[in-house]
Amino acid sequence: MKLTSRLSAVPLCVLGSVLVLSACSTTTKDETAGWSPNRIYSEATDERAAGNFEKSVTLLEKLEGRAAGTPLAQQAQIDKAYTQYKAGEQAQALATLDRFQKLHPTSPAMDYALYLKGLVNFNDNLGLFGSLARQDLSERDQKAAKESFEAFRELVTRFPDSRYSPDARDRMTYIVNSLAQYEVHVARYYYSRGAYLAAVNRAQTALSDYVNAPALEEALFIMVRSYEALGLTQLRDDAQRVMVANYPQSEYLTNGFKAKDDPWWKIW
Protein backbone atom coordinates (compact mmCIF):
# COMPACT_ATOMS: atom_id res chain seq x y z
CA MET A 1 0.00 0.00 0.00
CA LYS A 2 2.79 2.38 0.86
CA LEU A 3 4.64 1.64 -2.39
CA THR A 4 1.48 2.18 -4.39
CA SER A 5 0.83 5.52 -2.66
CA ARG A 6 4.35 6.70 -3.42
CA LEU A 7 4.06 5.73 -7.08
CA SER A 8 0.70 7.46 -7.45
CA ALA A 9 2.10 10.62 -5.95
CA VAL A 10 4.82 10.96 -8.60
CA PRO A 11 2.53 11.99 -11.49
CA LEU A 12 0.90 14.59 -9.23
CA CYS A 13 4.26 16.17 -8.48
CA VAL A 14 5.16 16.15 -12.14
CA LEU A 15 1.80 17.67 -13.01
CA GLY A 16 2.31 20.38 -10.41
CA SER A 17 5.69 21.27 -11.87
CA VAL A 18 4.19 21.47 -15.34
CA LEU A 19 1.48 23.83 -14.14
CA VAL A 20 4.00 26.09 -12.43
CA LEU A 21 6.16 26.22 -15.54
CA SER A 22 3.11 26.87 -17.68
CA ALA A 23 2.03 29.76 -15.47
CA CYS A 24 5.51 31.28 -15.65
CA SER A 25 5.58 31.03 -19.42
CA THR A 26 2.31 32.98 -19.77
CA THR A 27 3.31 35.85 -17.48
CA THR A 28 2.74 39.13 -19.36
CA LYS A 29 6.01 40.79 -20.28
CA ASP A 30 6.29 44.50 -19.57
CA GLU A 31 7.14 45.96 -22.96
CA THR A 32 8.15 49.25 -21.35
CA ALA A 33 10.77 47.66 -19.06
CA GLY A 34 13.70 49.17 -20.95
CA TRP A 35 12.01 52.38 -22.00
CA SER A 36 13.04 55.82 -20.80
CA PRO A 37 10.38 58.01 -19.14
CA ASN A 38 10.40 60.30 -22.17
CA ARG A 39 9.71 57.41 -24.50
CA ILE A 40 6.80 56.22 -22.34
CA TYR A 41 5.35 59.72 -22.43
CA SER A 42 5.78 59.93 -26.21
CA GLU A 43 4.14 56.54 -26.75
CA ALA A 44 1.24 57.47 -24.44
CA THR A 45 0.69 60.66 -26.42
CA ASP A 46 0.72 58.76 -29.71
CA GLU A 47 -1.74 56.17 -28.41
CA ARG A 48 -4.16 58.91 -27.32
CA ALA A 49 -3.88 60.63 -30.70
CA ALA A 50 -4.74 57.31 -32.33
CA GLY A 51 -7.81 56.92 -30.13
CA ASN A 52 -6.33 54.13 -28.02
CA PHE A 53 -7.30 55.77 -24.75
CA GLU A 54 -7.06 52.71 -22.51
CA LYS A 55 -3.51 51.96 -23.72
CA SER A 56 -2.57 55.60 -23.25
CA VAL A 57 -3.86 55.63 -19.66
CA THR A 58 -1.94 52.45 -18.86
CA LEU A 59 1.30 53.97 -20.14
CA LEU A 60 0.73 57.19 -18.22
CA GLU A 61 0.16 55.24 -15.02
CA LYS A 62 3.47 53.45 -15.56
CA LEU A 63 5.17 56.78 -16.17
CA GLU A 64 3.66 58.28 -13.03
CA GLY A 65 5.21 55.47 -10.97
CA ARG A 66 8.63 55.54 -12.61
CA ALA A 67 9.02 59.30 -12.62
CA ALA A 68 7.60 59.79 -9.10
CA GLY A 69 8.64 63.07 -7.52
CA THR A 70 9.48 64.75 -10.82
CA PRO A 71 7.59 67.30 -12.95
CA LEU A 72 7.10 64.55 -15.53
CA ALA A 73 5.06 62.55 -13.02
CA GLN A 74 2.77 65.56 -12.55
CA GLN A 75 2.49 65.88 -16.33
CA ALA A 76 1.56 62.20 -16.54
CA GLN A 77 -1.26 62.71 -14.06
CA ILE A 78 -2.65 65.71 -15.92
CA ASP A 79 -2.40 63.89 -19.23
CA LYS A 80 -4.13 60.87 -17.71
CA ALA A 81 -7.08 63.07 -16.67
CA TYR A 82 -7.23 64.60 -20.14
CA THR A 83 -7.13 61.16 -21.77
CA GLN A 84 -9.95 59.94 -19.54
CA TYR A 85 -11.92 63.07 -20.45
CA LYS A 86 -11.40 62.39 -24.16
CA ALA A 87 -12.51 58.79 -23.61
CA GLY A 88 -15.78 59.99 -22.07
CA GLU A 89 -14.84 58.71 -18.62
CA GLN A 90 -16.03 61.74 -16.68
CA ALA A 91 -15.96 60.24 -13.18
CA GLN A 92 -12.45 58.83 -13.63
CA ALA A 93 -11.14 62.12 -15.02
CA LEU A 94 -12.55 64.07 -12.07
CA ALA A 95 -11.08 61.57 -9.59
CA THR A 96 -7.66 61.93 -11.23
CA LEU A 97 -7.89 65.73 -11.08
CA ASP A 98 -8.96 65.68 -7.43
CA ARG A 99 -5.96 63.48 -6.63
CA PHE A 100 -3.68 65.83 -8.56
CA GLN A 101 -4.95 68.84 -6.60
CA LYS A 102 -4.36 67.10 -3.27
CA LEU A 103 -0.88 65.84 -4.14
CA HIS A 104 0.37 68.95 -5.94
CA PRO A 105 -1.41 72.03 -4.52
CA THR A 106 1.38 74.37 -5.67
CA SER A 107 1.95 72.82 -9.08
CA PRO A 108 2.63 75.22 -11.97
CA ALA A 109 -0.01 73.25 -13.87
CA MET A 110 -2.78 73.97 -11.35
CA ASP A 111 -4.42 76.52 -13.64
CA TYR A 112 -4.73 73.89 -16.36
CA ALA A 113 -6.01 71.32 -13.84
CA LEU A 114 -8.82 73.70 -12.85
CA TYR A 115 -9.57 74.49 -16.48
CA LEU A 116 -9.76 70.80 -17.35
CA LYS A 117 -11.99 70.17 -14.34
CA GLY A 118 -14.34 72.84 -15.65
CA LEU A 119 -14.29 71.30 -19.13
CA VAL A 120 -15.06 67.80 -17.84
CA ASN A 121 -18.19 69.07 -16.09
CA PHE A 122 -19.12 71.57 -18.80
CA ASN A 123 -19.90 68.94 -21.45
CA ASP A 124 -22.30 70.84 -23.70
CA ASN A 125 -22.19 68.10 -26.33
CA LEU A 126 -25.63 66.54 -25.98
CA GLY A 127 -25.08 63.87 -28.57
CA LEU A 128 -27.53 62.53 -31.14
CA PHE A 129 -30.59 62.12 -28.94
CA GLY A 130 -30.19 65.51 -27.29
CA SER A 131 -30.08 67.09 -30.72
CA LEU A 132 -33.09 65.18 -32.01
CA ALA A 133 -35.10 66.12 -28.96
CA ARG A 134 -34.18 69.78 -29.44
CA GLN A 135 -32.87 69.78 -25.90
CA ASP A 136 -30.37 72.39 -24.73
CA LEU A 137 -28.07 72.63 -21.74
CA SER A 138 -30.63 74.62 -19.77
CA GLU A 139 -33.07 71.69 -19.83
CA ARG A 140 -30.62 69.21 -18.32
CA ASP A 141 -29.52 68.42 -14.79
CA GLN A 142 -27.71 71.54 -13.58
CA LYS A 143 -25.42 69.94 -10.97
CA ALA A 144 -22.53 69.44 -13.41
CA ALA A 145 -22.99 72.94 -14.83
CA LYS A 146 -22.69 74.47 -11.36
CA GLU A 147 -19.58 72.41 -10.58
CA SER A 148 -18.11 73.50 -13.90
CA PHE A 149 -18.78 77.13 -13.04
CA GLU A 150 -17.06 76.76 -9.66
CA ALA A 151 -13.94 75.27 -11.26
CA PHE A 152 -13.77 78.07 -13.82
CA ARG A 153 -14.38 80.69 -11.12
CA GLU A 154 -11.53 79.33 -9.01
CA LEU A 155 -9.31 79.42 -12.08
CA VAL A 156 -10.00 83.06 -12.99
CA THR A 157 -9.79 84.13 -9.33
CA ARG A 158 -6.50 82.42 -8.54
CA PHE A 159 -4.91 82.74 -11.96
CA PRO A 160 -6.44 85.80 -13.67
CA ASP A 161 -3.55 86.02 -16.14
CA SER A 162 -3.57 82.36 -17.09
CA ARG A 163 -3.90 81.67 -20.79
CA TYR A 164 -6.93 79.52 -19.95
CA SER A 165 -8.78 82.29 -18.10
CA PRO A 166 -10.30 84.12 -21.11
CA ASP A 167 -12.01 80.96 -22.36
CA ALA A 168 -13.05 80.10 -18.80
CA ARG A 169 -14.76 83.50 -18.47
CA ASP A 170 -16.67 82.95 -21.72
CA ARG A 171 -17.80 79.55 -20.50
CA MET A 172 -18.87 81.04 -17.17
CA THR A 173 -21.11 83.50 -19.01
CA TYR A 174 -22.62 80.63 -20.99
CA ILE A 175 -23.24 78.64 -17.81
CA VAL A 176 -24.87 81.59 -16.03
CA ASN A 177 -27.18 82.13 -18.98
CA SER A 178 -27.96 78.43 -19.05
CA LEU A 179 -28.76 78.26 -15.34
CA ALA A 180 -31.04 81.27 -15.64
CA GLN A 181 -32.81 79.65 -18.58
CA TYR A 182 -33.22 76.48 -16.55
CA GLU A 183 -35.10 78.40 -13.83
CA VAL A 184 -37.29 79.96 -16.51
CA HIS A 185 -38.01 76.53 -18.02
CA VAL A 186 -39.24 75.40 -14.64
CA ALA A 187 -41.21 78.60 -14.07
CA ARG A 188 -42.92 78.26 -17.42
CA TYR A 189 -43.75 74.63 -16.69
CA TYR A 190 -45.41 75.61 -13.40
CA TYR A 191 -47.30 78.42 -15.14
CA SER A 192 -48.60 76.05 -17.82
CA ARG A 193 -49.87 73.73 -15.06
CA GLY A 194 -51.64 76.53 -13.22
CA ALA A 195 -49.17 76.56 -10.31
CA TYR A 196 -48.81 80.33 -10.47
CA LEU A 197 -47.19 80.93 -7.10
CA ALA A 198 -44.52 78.31 -7.84
CA ALA A 199 -43.98 79.95 -11.23
CA VAL A 200 -43.43 83.33 -9.56
CA ASN A 201 -40.94 81.84 -7.11
CA ARG A 202 -38.82 80.24 -9.83
CA ALA A 203 -38.92 83.38 -11.96
CA GLN A 204 -37.78 85.43 -8.96
CA THR A 205 -34.90 82.99 -8.40
CA ALA A 206 -33.70 83.64 -11.94
CA LEU A 207 -33.96 87.40 -11.44
CA SER A 208 -32.10 87.44 -8.14
CA ASP A 209 -29.37 84.90 -8.94
CA TYR A 210 -28.51 85.58 -12.58
CA VAL A 211 -28.16 89.28 -13.33
CA ASN A 212 -28.34 90.37 -16.98
CA ALA A 213 -29.04 86.88 -18.34
CA PRO A 214 -31.15 86.89 -21.55
CA ALA A 215 -33.75 84.60 -19.95
CA LEU A 216 -34.76 87.31 -17.46
CA GLU A 217 -37.03 88.91 -20.04
CA GLU A 218 -39.23 85.82 -20.07
CA ALA A 219 -38.94 85.50 -16.28
CA LEU A 220 -40.52 88.93 -15.85
CA PHE A 221 -43.27 88.10 -18.31
CA ILE A 222 -44.07 84.90 -16.41
CA MET A 223 -44.35 86.97 -13.24
CA VAL A 224 -46.72 89.43 -14.94
CA ARG A 225 -48.96 86.64 -16.20
CA SER A 226 -48.83 84.67 -12.94
CA TYR A 227 -49.73 87.67 -10.79
CA GLU A 228 -52.59 88.41 -13.16
CA ALA A 229 -53.85 84.84 -12.87
CA LEU A 230 -53.64 85.10 -9.08
CA GLY A 231 -55.64 88.36 -9.13
CA LEU A 232 -52.70 90.30 -7.60
CA THR A 233 -53.07 93.37 -9.79
CA GLN A 234 -50.67 95.62 -7.89
CA LEU A 235 -47.85 93.10 -8.11
CA ARG A 236 -48.72 92.47 -11.75
CA ASP A 237 -48.45 96.18 -12.55
CA ASP A 238 -45.16 96.48 -10.65
CA ALA A 239 -43.66 93.55 -12.58
CA GLN A 240 -44.91 94.96 -15.86
CA ARG A 241 -43.35 98.37 -15.14
CA VAL A 242 -40.01 96.72 -14.50
CA MET A 243 -40.35 94.72 -17.68
CA VAL A 244 -41.24 97.74 -19.83
CA ALA A 245 -38.35 99.72 -18.35
CA ASN A 246 -35.81 96.98 -19.08
CA TYR A 247 -37.27 95.50 -22.26
CA PRO A 248 -39.31 98.24 -23.96
CA GLN A 249 -39.27 96.39 -27.30
CA SER A 250 -40.10 92.98 -25.82
CA GLU A 251 -42.11 90.73 -28.11
CA TYR A 252 -43.61 89.09 -25.03
CA LEU A 253 -45.56 92.30 -24.34
CA THR A 254 -47.15 92.22 -27.78
CA ASN A 255 -47.20 88.55 -28.79
CA GLY A 256 -47.18 86.63 -25.51
CA PHE A 257 -45.17 83.46 -25.06
CA LYS A 258 -42.99 82.38 -27.92
CA ALA A 259 -44.02 79.08 -29.45
CA LYS A 260 -41.58 76.25 -28.97
CA ASP A 261 -41.65 73.35 -31.40
CA ASP A 262 -42.51 70.00 -29.86
CA PRO A 263 -39.62 67.55 -29.74
CA TRP A 264 -39.68 64.65 -32.15
CA TRP A 265 -40.64 62.16 -29.43
CA LYS A 266 -43.75 64.07 -28.29
CA ILE A 267 -46.59 62.49 -30.24
CA TRP A 268 -49.54 63.37 -28.01
pLDDT tens digits for 202-260?
A: 999 999 999 899 999 999 999 999 999 999 999 999 999 999 999 999 999 888 887 65
pLDDT under 70: residue ranges of the chain = 1-28, 123-141, 259-268
pLDDT of 143 reads 85
pLDDT of 83 reads 97
Global confidence as pTM: 0.75
Q: Name, in order, each residue with C-beta under 8 angstroms of 263's C-beta and a sequence gap of 6 or more.
A: 132, 133, 134, 135
Three-state secondary-structure class, residue 129 = helix
End-to-end CA distance of the chain: 85
pLDDT of 27 reads 58
Q: Is 259 left (phi over 0), alpha (psi -120 to 50) or beta?
A: beta
Question: How far, in Å, CA of 120 to CA of 150, rounded?
Answer: 12
Burial 196-209 (b: 16+ CB within 10 A, else e): bebbbbbbbbbbee
pLDDT of 254 reads 85
What angle do the packed helices 71-86 and 53-66 form, to 10 degrees?
160
pLDDT of 263 reads 42
Query: What does each C-alpha distance from 261 to 75, 191, 193, 264, 268 come to in angstroms?
Result: 47, 18, 18, 9, 13
